[in-house]
């Protein structure tokens, strides 16, 4: 069945308090999707943002971002008063997230809510802590220790806590129990609000498509509490780090800095950590996009301390052994493989063997030759995009494309200024034989480069900050999108 959906980060939703949240902004967006004839909402990772405000550099593979906890819902539950949060400074630009202001204000408000909540912990909270303790305990302790250290990396913590010894951890918990519970409370509220949103999405016929980053951050609860999962040296530092070789995005390659997995260890455990990670994600989402899928076939290892990604080398990943273990434990899982970048024949073979749909990005289609990204080459079993969160918008792409690319795209898709170049690219993606088409909201709106979500290999510069304005999610725009969905049999 042909379907279509919209790529929209939760942070980018309009709303009153500086960033999109799990309350009214998300419920309203699901209503918009339904009116627009859309079946899928694709989100970016919901994890706490890390270095450079990126959701792909998180302090936890399992935690939700406390910024997304809806303050009005906390007020409804008697945990906040309107005056405690409505007039705080969340930033002055409604079209951008000010992460500095969010950090300064959001936790103040959440601590006020926790002060009321902690007077009497409900049974449901204890049940949550027990059921999620396998990751929650270490996350809450990590955040507590990080706060006590002034935000320093765990490698700079006192030895006992840094090495996660039982004696030091027991002392940390005993001396700072309230702080540990604050971080658990944030996750409890995040999960409660998310599950209510997911239930509403299901009622409206909208699937939620999540995103699992392949790697975790070097300074994270995951590496701190489970160093055996990663390739670390005798000092607990990454022996090599992740990234990508030089490509169209960056002449120096992409130096991500994430620690690499000890795949031999994972194989000995039957890939238990990955099975658990995917099982957990399926509690939140109907479909899962796994970022950097090619890294399961061959991954790029860059020597620790390197200044660029030019000196890395390709190493062999777990391949189908991992996905056979996942299937054995979980059955057929609705995974979408982000199979972009420099691909070897073995990556194509892994995609074929896995049975997962790959991704086709229209912005990559109009170079020389008969590209696999041109719609006439798309298989039915794929997800087609105008662009991803790492691309500029369709309108900005056409403006910046080479003359040859513009000529080819114009001839192939029948583009015209009257229709709008972004609209023509959207039309081309929707016409693809691919079973699912995902279009970033900014492309439906014909927005320029200011609505770009991320520019790889850069920090700052508006990355992860763009927000839609309330008037852009209007009934007229929903009606236009719905008409396109019907035209291409995707409604």
Query: Where are the chain's structural domains?
Result: 1-205, 360-491
Q: Which residues are catalytic?
A: 291, 338, 390
Local structure of 75: helix, strand or coil: helix
Mean pLDDT of 260-286: 98
Give, as one character, the DSSP assignment of residue 8.
-
Q: What is the pLDDT of residues 433-477, one digit of tens each?
A: 999 999 999 999 999 999 999 998 788 779 999 999 999 999 999
Q: Would the pLDDT of 324 be above 90?
A: yes
How many angstroms separate the CA atoms of 206 and 26, rounded?
12
How many angstroms separate the CA atoms of 396 and 345, rounded?
32
Q: Would the pLDDT of 355 be above 70?
A: yes
Task: Supply the pTM of this predicted model.
Answer: 0.96
Q: What is the pLDDT of residues 384-406, one digit of tens each?
A: 999 999 999 999 999 999 999 99
* Length of the chain, in residues: 491
Structural fold of domain 1-205: TIM Barrel (3.20.20)
The 10 Å CB-count burial string (b at 16+, else e) for 100-134 is: ebbeebbbebbebbbeebeeeeeeebeebbeebee
Q: Residue 253: what pLDDT?
A: 87
Q: Would the pLDDT of 373 be above 70?
A: yes
Which strand ranges, in their side-by-side order, compose the sheet holding 358-361? 335-337, 287-290, 207-212, 40-42, 3-7, 436-440, 382-385, 358-361
Q: Residue 249: what pLDDT?
A: 64
Q: Residue 51: what pLDDT?
A: 84
Mean pLDDT of 279-290: 98
The structure tokens listed for 121 are 């912990």
């Amino acid at each position: 069945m042909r379907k279509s959906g919209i790529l929209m980060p939760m942070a980018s939703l309009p709303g009153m308090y500086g960033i999109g949240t799990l309350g009214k902004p998300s419920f309203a967006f699901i209503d918009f999707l339904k009116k627009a004839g859309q079946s899928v909402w694709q989100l970016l990772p919901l994890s706490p943002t890390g270095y450079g405000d990126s959701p792909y550099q998180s302090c936890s593979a399992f935690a939700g971002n406390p910024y997304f906890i809806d303050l009005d819902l906390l007020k409804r539950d008697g945990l906040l008063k309107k005056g405690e949060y409505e007039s705080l400074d969340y930033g002055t630009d409604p079209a951008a997230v000010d992460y500095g202001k969010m950090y300064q204000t959001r936790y103040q408000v959440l601590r006020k809510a926790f002060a009321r909540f902690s007077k009497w912990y409900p049974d449901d909270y204890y049940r949550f802590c027990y059921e999620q303790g396998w990751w929650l305990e270490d996350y809450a302790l990590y955040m507590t220790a990080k706060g006590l250290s002034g935000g320093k990396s765990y490698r700079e913590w006192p030895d006992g806590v840094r090495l996660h010894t039982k004696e030091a951890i027991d002392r940390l918990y005993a001396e700072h129990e309230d702080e540990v519970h604050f971080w658990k409370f944030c996750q409890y509220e995040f999960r409660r609000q998310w599950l209510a949103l997911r239930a509403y999405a299901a009622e409206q016929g909208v699937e939620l498509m999540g995103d699992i980053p392949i790697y975790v951050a070097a300074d994270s609860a995951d590496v701190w509490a489970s160093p055996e999962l990663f390739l670390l040296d005798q000092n607990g530092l990454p022996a090599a780090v992740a990234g990508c070789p030089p490509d169209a995005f960056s002449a120096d390659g992409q130096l991500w800095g994430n620690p690499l997995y000890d795949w031999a260890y994972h194989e000995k455990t039957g890939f238990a950590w990955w099975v658990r990670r995917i099982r957990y994600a399926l509690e939140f989402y109907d479909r899962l996009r796994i970022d950097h899928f090619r890294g399961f076939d061959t991954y790029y290892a860059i020597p620790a301390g390197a200044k660029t990604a030019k000196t890395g080398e390709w190493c062999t990943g777990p391949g189908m052994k991992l996905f056979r273990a996942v299937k054995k434990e979980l059955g057929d899982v609705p995974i979408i493989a982000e199979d972009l970048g420099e691909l070897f024949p073995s990556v194509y073979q892994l995609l074929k063997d896995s049975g997962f749909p790959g991704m086709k990005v229209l912005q990559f289609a109009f170079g020389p030759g008969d590209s696999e990204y041109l719609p006439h080459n798309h298989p039915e079993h794929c997800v087609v995009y105008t662009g991803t969160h790492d691309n500029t918008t369709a309108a900005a792409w056409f403006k910046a494309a080479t003359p040859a690319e513009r000529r080819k795209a114009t001839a192939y898709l029948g583009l015209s200024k009257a229709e709008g170049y972004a609209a023509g690219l959207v039309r081309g993606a929707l016409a693809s034989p691919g079973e699912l088409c995902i279009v970033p909201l900014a492309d439906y709106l014909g927005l320029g480069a200011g609505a770009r979500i991320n520019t790889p290999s850069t920090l700052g510069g508006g990355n992860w900050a763009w927000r839609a304005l309330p008037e852009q999610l209007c009934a007229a725009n929903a009606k236009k999108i719905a008409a396109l969905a019907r035209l291409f049999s995707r409604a």
